[in-house]
Amino acid sequence: MSMLKIVGIILIVGGIAMLATGAFHYKEKKKILDTDIIDINKTETKVVSWPRIAGVVVIIGGVALLLLGGKKVQ
């Protein structure tokens, strides 16, 4: 299997995941006060979201790589 086909499959799976989820969440820990006696931290939940069209574009790119992966470039 050629490298273009592998990347194409990865892009298609990633695009489907982007359409299915729409975003992902992660937690970030910030120090508010850091002294010898006491440490105060704050945990914030961050959201990274993307438009649905981005997932569609990634899927189209993956399909294009799958189709080009079987052709020989001269």
Q: What percent of the chain has pLDDT over 90?
A: 64
Residue 7: exposed, middle, or buried by beta-carbon count in 10 A (0-12, 13-18, 19+)?
middle
Task: Quote the CA–CA distance of 13 and 7 in Å, as a whole number.
Answer: 10
H/E run at residue 24: strand 23-34
pLDDT of residue 2: 80
Residue 67 above 70 pLDDT?
A: yes
Q: Would the pTM count as exceeding 0.85?
A: no
Nearest of 24, 21, 1, 18 to residue 61 by alpha carbon: 18
Domain coverage including residue 52? 3-69
Query: Is 14 part of any domain?
Result: yes
The count of structural domains within the chain is 1
Per-residue pLDDT reduced to its tens digit, 29-38: 999 888 888 9
Query: Is 61 part of any domain?
Result: yes
